[in-house]
Amino acid sequence: MATTSRPTGQQRAFAERTGRSLGRRRVTNAVMLGIMYVAAFAATLPLVFILVHLAREGASSLDLAFFTRMPKPVGETGGGMANAITGTLILIAIAAAIGLPIGIGAGLHLAEQRGTRLANAVRFLSDVLNGLPSIVMGIFAWQVLVRPIGHFSALAGGIALGVMMIPLVTRTTEEMIRLVPTSLREAALALGYARWRTSLSIVLRTALPGIVTGALVAVARIAGETAPLIFTAFGNQFWSTALDQPMAALPLQIYSYATSPFDDWHRLAWAGALVLIALVLIISLVARFATRSRFTAGHD
């Protein structure tokens, strides 16, 4: 055969290695295999350490008051984070109100206009937007929504989080819609459905469980974000649900308590972190099970 073609470096390396004694090669194989096992084990360790420590520290300081009471001033023990928990839920709601419709709309466009130059550019740029540091999103929201108005507001924080959600929702929506068989769309069109109705009530509806999963993953990701909120929602020691005023948020409260010098506040920070992690993990787990049932259901 191609006797004239010279072996590539890869082939040469391979030949050289297979020239060695089989015993030595088996030992190398076993050693490397062992290293991979150790790497996999080591990579799961930090998570275990973090969760165990969090559960221990958090659970011992978590009580009903944490959910129902307001923060106490320095020096007084006790108190809770009722305002921060409420604030985080409000901020998530604002973010979802912005991120979901725009993200789903963009995802529909990407899935339906596959291969156009615009779609390719948008897909690429949405990945780039997704990689933008969240602190940059914070200064952007500050520049546009806090600076001109003159004071911090929950709305600015929610919008910063909402912008972060858009690329996440866009990409999962696109992927889920692509999984819908073309025959389904064609059948609807053949029955005389208008394109928009086919897209919304047949295709989107079929893909809905997957899109819900994507939305939950996006929510889980922004729920714990702190950096975009430091100078937008800013935090608030008092009860406030006004969208044009500073608002407390769980991650902000954890940040300020963790970096404070008071033991009692450290305790509350751990409790807050446990609540935040529980929130994020529950959302992630629900999302995971939603996907799983979707895929097993899709087999028949």
Partner 1 sequence: MGSTSIEGASSADRWYRIITTACALSIPLLLGFIALQVFVGAWPAFEKFGLSFLTGSTWDVGAGEFGAAPMIYGTVVSSVLALVLATPLALGVAIFLSEFAPPWLRQPVAFLVDLLAAIPSVVYGLWGIFVLLPVLREDVMPFLATTLGLGNTPLFSGPAYGNSMLAASVILAIMILPYISAVAREVLMAVPRAQREAALALGATRWEMIRDAVVPYARSGIIGGIILGLGRALGETMAVTMLIGNRAELSASLFAPGYTLASVIANEFAEASTEFHTAALMACGAVLLVVTLMVNMIARWLVGRVAREGR
Query: With 0-12 CB in 10 A as exposed, 13-18 as middle and 19+ as buried, what is 95?
Result: buried
Any contact of residue 133 with partner 1 (CB under 8 A)? yes
202 vs 223 by CB, closer to partner 1: 223
State whether residue 15 is helix, strand or coil. helix
List the one residue from 7, 53, 238, 289 that touches partner 1 (CB under 8 A): 53
Nearest-Å Rg of the Cα atoms of the chain is 26
- Footprint (CB under 8 A) of partner 1, residues 7-46: 10, 13-14, 17-18, 25-26, 28-29, 32-33, 35-40, 42-44, 46
Tell me the per-residue interface mask from 150 to 189 with partner 1, x by CB under 8 A, - otherwise.
-------------x--xx--x-------------------
Any contact of residue 121 with partner 1 (CB under 8 A)? yes
Cα–Cα distance measured from residue 232 to residue 37, given in angstroms and rounded to the nearest whole number: 45
* Closest distance of CB 188 from partner 1, Å: 13
Cα–Cα distance measured from residue 148 to residue 155, given in angstroms and rounded to the nearest whole number: 14
**Count of residues binding partner 1 (CB under 8 A)?**
97
Q: Distance between alpha carbon 225 and the CA centroid of its chain, in Å?
A: 9
- Footprint (CB under 8 A) of partner 1, residues 66-95: none
Among residues 114, 225, 121, 106, the alpha carbon closest in space to that of 172 is found at: 106
Tell me the per-residue interface mask from 205 to 244 with partner 1, x by CB under 8 A, - otherwise.
---------------xx-xxxxx--xx--x----------
* Closest distance of CB 239 from partner 1, Å: 21
Cα–Cα distance measured from residue 68 to residue 78, given in angstroms and rounded to the nearest whole number: 11
Cα–Cα distance measured from residue 180 to residue 257, given in angstroms and rounded to the nearest whole number: 47
List the one residue from 61, 240, 245, 284 that touches partner 1 (CB under 8 A): 284
Per CB under 8 A, which region of 53-61, 65-73, 74-82, 176-184 contacts partner 1? 53-61
Cα–Cα distance measured from residue 11 to residue 121, given in angstroms and rounded to the nearest whole number: 38
Any contact of residue 135 with partner 1 (CB under 8 A)? yes
